[in-house]
Structure 1
Amino acid sequence: MPSPVFAATKPEDQLAQMKNALREYVARRCPASRLPIELWDLIFEECVGDAQEMSLVNAPLNVSQVCRRWRNISLSNPGLWSALAVTPTRHHAEDDYALEALHRVVQLWLRRAVARPLSVSLAQSDSVGSEGPLLLLLDAVLLHAPHLRHLDIRAPEACLIPLDSPALYLPALERLKIESPWPQPLAASITLPLHRAPRLRSFAVLRTSFDAAHVFAFDYTQLTELTLLPDAQAAPEVFWTAEETLTFLAEAPRLRTLRVAVNDYMPHRRTLAHADALQSLTLEFRDALSTLPPRPTRIGAFFSLLYTPNLRHLTLRDRGAAHPAVWPLHQFLDTWPQAQFLAYLSTTQLRALTLEHLPLYETEVIECLQRVPLLTELVLAARAQGGLQRNVGDLLLCALTSRTVPPNGTPIVTALRKVEFRHCGKRCTEQALISMVDSRLGALEYLRVHRSALPSQNLAAQLARWDMVKVDMHY
């Protein structure tokens, strides 16, 4: 009886069968084919990473198209399909066939994940003017709502409507991030399903008109990270007050990271708000246009009531008045509460400090840095426009060296590795700059500073010698 391999009658068919048999024999003799499936699973999972862009050049799609065995292995491993990032383009918005193909791929991808926890990122391209593609994809993703662990959405607010469904339940959701760079006020407000996500640990809303009061409508004591940074032109009620911020910090015992915009009304608390777990704090102060009590008293009262002994990263930004035409910025330039803020810094163990748009001069910055001797990162930023820049000054640069400088004759924050002066004026001599860098060679990793004049030959030679530190000069 003839072998089934050569059962074909036509010579060309027999030749094709012989070639296939030879390829299968060579594949079986390949050392890689002898690896166990468990080892291939580990290799493929290392290729995938966290959330690859959906493309034929990235895993798991590329490894599933190498050979029959790799395809069977990748399709049998749901973990390879548990992360997905999709960005519809203008092509999908203008071509219904392309959008339908993308929709089918997303559905197939999520089905292959079976019941694995999903990490999904949906983002609308800047060139797309329609919400239709993202709405269609979000509906497909929410069909797998019970398995969603991480959900990131970057889209207009109109795309968030599917999240307001009363039937939506997110039992496994741990991280929710929403960003809307294109604010579009809706006729009816959207209530995000925070109370339907019992395991939510990280919640972030960026540049939207989301009402921050919704955070208090669910059990936020489990949160470890919260970001509420609405659009700068959002209504005042969207911003938290100083009282709400202190209350939240006192009642969220697991919170490690907080980024929030604060409308700094006078707090009513009379006891300290203890936030022992807090490690990173970002506050964007927006003036509430309240003349009584004055602004220095309001902000000073805030810091006098805050206790964060384990804080490592602190960022403070001054957004200024909500309506500069009503209350010009220059009217509160000299209102930063030094005494209360210095006392607060003394209770922390800061490693990174960022002060943006605050009315601090060289001597005031030195006073702040004396309270945080373990600092490794320092960023000082003035407003880029408007004539409100502050000078870095030789005094501050000298205070960051090992030389004797006022006010106490000793160097400050000797562990600094990263220093940035953004739009902080240009009054720093070359000698002060050289002394500052030379005294920290071996420890300093990055320096950014403005100067008023182009570098001399001496400074140019120093820049070439500083190969251990990246120096970013702006003239």
Structure 2
Amino acid sequence: MPDPIATCPQCGFHLYTASADTESAHTNHELLPASIEYFLRNNESPPESGDLLDIQTLLHQAENASADLESQISQMKESIRRLTFQRERITANIQAYRTVLHPIRRLPADIILEIFDWCVSVQSIEPDSVVLDNPELKLPGLRVVQSLHSVHPPWNLGQVSRNWRNIALSSPKLWSSVSIFLRTTHPSASIQRRVELSQVSLLSIYLTRSHDYPLSVYINSLHAEHPLLSMIYAQSHRWRNAVLYLPVETLRNLSFSIKGALPMLRTLLLSVTRDPGACNTAQENWENVITGDVVIDAFQYAPSLKCLAISQIPSFPTLFTMPWDQLLRFECNLKSQAHQLSENSMNLHILRSAHKLQMAMFRCCHKPILDFDNLQPIRHTHLHTLNLFSVMDSNPAIPHIGQLLDIVTLPTLCHLSIHTQRRELDACDTVLRFIERSDPKNLRVLLLNDMPMSVEATQNLLKIIPSVEHLGLSGVTDEVIRTMCWSGSNTTGVRDLTTSDTPASASDSGVILPKLRRLAFYGSESLSVNQRKLLGMIESRRSITAAVSGSLIVDMGQDGGGLQDSLTTPAMLERVEVSRKYNFSDSDTVLRLDRLVDEGLTLDQR
């Protein structure tokens, strides 16, 4: 009779339960008989009597037992395989349940839209050092990702679910930043045509989805003519911010496409592109295209334009007709040979024309024939932020920046940044006269990079800028460090400074730079400053509030006469910027520096 079948109540495995005799037989074959062990220890053959028959019987029984066990093992493996498969299906279902119940599927549409906005967010082109409270002065962010690639947002945001697609298509803002790159030319006209047709189709869909939302446009093209350019120009009435890198031929003919159709344009950045494989130079190409009678008035009627930036465009004020009287911010970054056709006469022309200008950045280039005797000085009452760069010049005797500053007065100046590039001689005297001529008590930020100054000139400068909160200097010496020390403090570093052989200066009254919070040292000369003296000055200005014990610094008038109505509470130095090559090697200095950092000082070594 076959053995009875037993079924596992948990896994359903069918087990053929062996009888007592079968189980005993399996057990008996697990041990080798002694007679067999005897024959294994020698080379004798079994006798041809009944013992041989018994051994053959044992062999057949062992083979049957092994086959029976192999059958049971196969059944168990099949059960394990079946159970493993069932477990994997259940595990997959568990993951499916969790996926369906994921909180992101239940997010409100406004939260999803906020996430989408971050996915297509733009990159700010505003320098980190510029902090603006007036939103009209801020430069726009740029999204320099090809808008015609469907693998990028916002295209791929609608490829997740029907709900996400509906949200993406219902928000014109997601489609309001258009970036077009046209810098390649295909080898055959047929391929070029197919590519253009595909691009036109995608851009048409993109613009349709933006509805009537104001556009931020970024175009970088080497093509003077292209179907995509015409499509973008047709939407100029929706331009809010425009960044245009175009060939000079396109700029020349731009008036025919967008003139009088820029009612919303607030910020404009213009630059010239040139095919790097062209045989002629950029200046030769410019002179061939822009003749003496060319005037570009494409942006003449842009009633909302407030911010303008240009690059690589010489003689801009005479070439372009702009609404200068409404501009609040202007930046000019002329490179290579472009400055040779512009010079400081262009900067002065802009300062005279843009009388509402509040922020300006100029690249200065000396104009030899500028007639100072017959030139009317410029007093600009609105310009509060001025950034100046001199052109790269091997002759430090040429006053690129000095020529401009000698003509200009800015009574509301708050931020002045100067980078002389080639260390102009006598530039510091010009800067001192300019600051004194303007109202130095309004000055909050003063950055003088690569400008050599004597100790006496530096001390004179520090005395006339009591309201400066952020100061950057080049060529700092130990004497300048001592001048900047807050002498009312009683720190170790101050005692070291005051007991030095350096004679006392007029700064020892302790009122130099009472509002200073951020200090930067530029140039290789600053690397030679004594680290103990530098740290002593920092410690004195970190303990400044305790040193004065709540007293107030009386702000004197410029003439040294009567007291002003306002009293100034001294500020604590919060941030110091030095070169990464400046090494604090002394062990005592390192310990003191670590303590200052632990107490909140920010040390920036770049």
TM-score, normalization by structure 2: 0.58
Instruction: Please say if 1:401 is aligned against 2:485.
Output: yes
Question: Shift in Å at residue 177 of structure 1?
Answer: 0.5
Distance in 2 (CA, whole Å) between partners of 1:443 and 1:79 is 43
CA distance in 2: counterparts of 1:282 and 1:249, whole angstroms: 13
| SS class of match (2:506) | coil
State which drifts further: 191-200 or 261-270. Answer: 261-270
Is 1:419 paired with 2:519? yes
Question: Deviation at 1:31?
Answer: 9.2
Contact 1:91 1:98 in 2 (8 A): no
Contact 2:410 2:439 in 1 (8 A): no
1:145 partnered with 2:236: yes
C-alpha separation in 1, matches of 2:185 and 2:536:
55
1:445 aligns with 2:578: no
| Secondary structure of the corresponding residue to residue 589 of structure 2 | helix
Q: 1:422 to 1:154 in 2, by over 3 A?
A: farther
The yes-or-no answer on 1:431 pairing with 2:554 is: no
Pair 1:341 & 2:434 matched: yes
Q: Work out the CA distance in 2 between the residues paired with 1:472 and 1:33.
A: 45
- TM-aligned CA distance change 1:333 to 1:193, over 3 Å: same
Q: Output the CA distance in 2 between the equivalents of 1:307 and 1:282.
A: 13
CA contact (8 A) 1:81 1:110 kept: yes
Asked if the contact 1:173/1:197 (under 8 Å) is kept, the reply is yes
Q: Which residue of 1 aligns with 2:318?
A: 213
**How far apart are residue 148 of structure 1 and its match?**
1.1
From the superposition, tell whether residues 352 and 49 of structure 1 become closer, same or farther in structure 2 (CA, over 3 Å).
same
**Letter of the 1:83 counterpart:** S
Answer yes or no: is the 8 Å Cα contact 2:444–2:467 preserved in 1: yes
Whose Rg is larger? 2
**Cα gap change, 1:227 to 1:408, in 2 (>3 Å):** same
Change (3 A) 1:439 1:30: closer
> Taking structure 1 as reference, are residues 420 and 92 closer, same or farther at Cα in structure 2, changes over 3 Å only?
farther
Residue equivalent to 1:79:
173
Preserved contact between residue 400 and residue 414 of structure 1 (Cα < 8 Å): no
Shift of 1:313: 1.2
d(CA) in 2 for partners of 1:93, 1:374:
62
Q: Aligned equivalents of 1:262 and 1:57: distance in 2?
A: 44
Query: What is the SS of the residue equivalent to 1:226?
Result: strand
The one-letter amino acid paired with 1:77 is: S
Matches within 5 A, 1:311-330: 311-318=413-420
1:457 maps onto 2:556 in alignment: no
Give the Å deviation of 1:433: 1.6
Q: CA deviation at 1:235?
A: 4.9
TM-fit CA distance, 1:59: 4.5
Identify the residue that residue 65 of structure 1 maps to in structure 2.
159
Question: Structure 2: 5+ residue runs without aligned partners?
Answer: 1-95, 123-141, 275-280, 488-497, 499-503, 543-571
Q: 1:255 to 1:424 in 2, by over 3 A?
A: same
Q: CA deviation at 1:152?
A: 1.1
Instruction: Indicate yes or no: 2:464 matched with 1:360.
Output: no
Instruction: Tell me the equivalent position of 2:407.
Output: 302
Instruction: Check 1:427–1:56 CA distance in 2 against 1; reply closer, same or farther (3 A cut).
Output: same
- Superposed, 1:178-197 pairs within 5 Å as 178-180=270-272, 184=282, 185-186=285-286, 187-189=288-290, 191=296, 193-197=298-302
Report Cα offsets for 1:359-401 as digits up to 9, x if no partner.
Answer: 32333233223222222222235xxxxxxxxx31012222333
String of CA shifts for 1:143-195, please: whole Å, max 9, x gaps: 32221111113466566466353564323222111245868233212736221
1:231 matched to 2:323? The reply is: no
> How much has 1:412 moved relative to structure 2?
2.4
Cα deviation code 1:27-65 (max 9, x no counterpart): 899896584x66755564465434544476765334322
SS in 2 for 1:337: helix
When residues 170 and 297 of structure 1 are mapped into structure 2, their CA distance, relative to the original with a 3 A threshold, is closer
1:221 deviates by 0.7
Match of 2:213 among 107, 116, 122: 116
**C-alpha distance in 2, partners of 1:202/1:40?**
33
Q: Deviations over 1:188-212 (max 9, x none)?
A: 1273622143332111012343533
Q: Which digits, 9 at most, give the CA deviation of each residue in 1:330-354, with x for residues without a partner?
A: 8x45773365224135445122112
Q: Which amino acid aligns with 1:469?
A: L
Matched residue type, 1:113: S
Supply the distance in 1 between the matched residues of 2:581 and 2:333 (Cα, whole angstroms).
32
Rounded Cα–Cα distance in structure 2 between residues aligned with 1:213 and 1:369: 40
How many residues align? The count is 418
**2:418 alignment partner, SS class:** strand
Q: Which amino acid aligns with 2:486?
A: S
- Residues 395-431 of structure 1: CA deviation (Å, up to 9, x unaligned): 2222333137623312522333332222241320011
CA-CA distance at 1:110 after TM superposition: 2.0
Query: Counterparts of 2:469 and 2:210 in 1: how far apart (Å)?
Result: 43
User: What is the distance in 1 between the residues matched to 2:200 and 2:481?
Assistant: 57
- CA displacement, residues 117-155 of structure 1 (integer Å, 9 cap, x when unaligned): 10022347xxxxxx2499565444223222111111346
After superposition, the C-alpha distances for 1:56-88 in whole angstroms (9 at most, x for unaligned) are 676533432221122122212212211233556
Distance 1:407-1:284 versus aligned 2 partners, 3 A rule: same
Structure 1 residues 82 and 230, CA gap change in structure 2 (3 angstroms) = same
Maintained 8 Å contact 2:178/2:217: yes
Cα distance change, pair 439–139 in 1 and its aligned pair in 2 (3 A)? farther
Closer/same/farther in 2, CA of residues 365 and 238 from structure 1, 3 Å limit: same
Q: Report the Cα offset of residue 459 of structure 1.
A: 3.4
State how far apart, in whole Å, the 1-side matches of 2:336 and 2:472 are.
22
Once the two structures are TM-superposed, the CA of residue 226 in structure 1 deviates from its matched residue by 0.9
Instruction: State the secondary structure of the residue aligned to 2:216.
Output: strand
**Counterpart residue identity of residue 121, structure 2:** G
Q: Distance in 2 between matches of 1:428 and 1:421?
A: 10
1:177 is matched with 269
2:174 alignment partner AA: L
Higher mean C-alpha deviation, range 226-235 or range 74-83: 226-235
Could you tell me which amino acid in structure 1 is paired with residue 512 of structure 2? I
1:163 equivalent to 2:265? Answer no
Contact (CA 8 Å) 2:485, 2:537: kept in 1 or not? yes
**What is the CA–CA distance in structure 1 between the aligned matches of 2:447 and 2:420, rounded to whole Å?**
11
* Matched residue, 2:48: none
Q: Specify every segment of 5 or more residues in structure 1 that has no aligned partner in the other structure, as ranges.
A: 1-22, 125-130, 321-328, 382-390
Q: Tell me the amino acid that sits aligned with residue 216 of structure 2.
A: S
User: How far apart, CA to CA, are the structure 2 residues paired with 1:197 and 1:153?
Assistant: 16
Structure 1 pair 436/32, CA: closer, same or farther in 2 (3 Å)?
Answer: same
Greater fraction of residues in helix: 2
**1:161 and 1:105, CA in 2 relative to 1: closer, same or farther beyond 3 A?**
farther
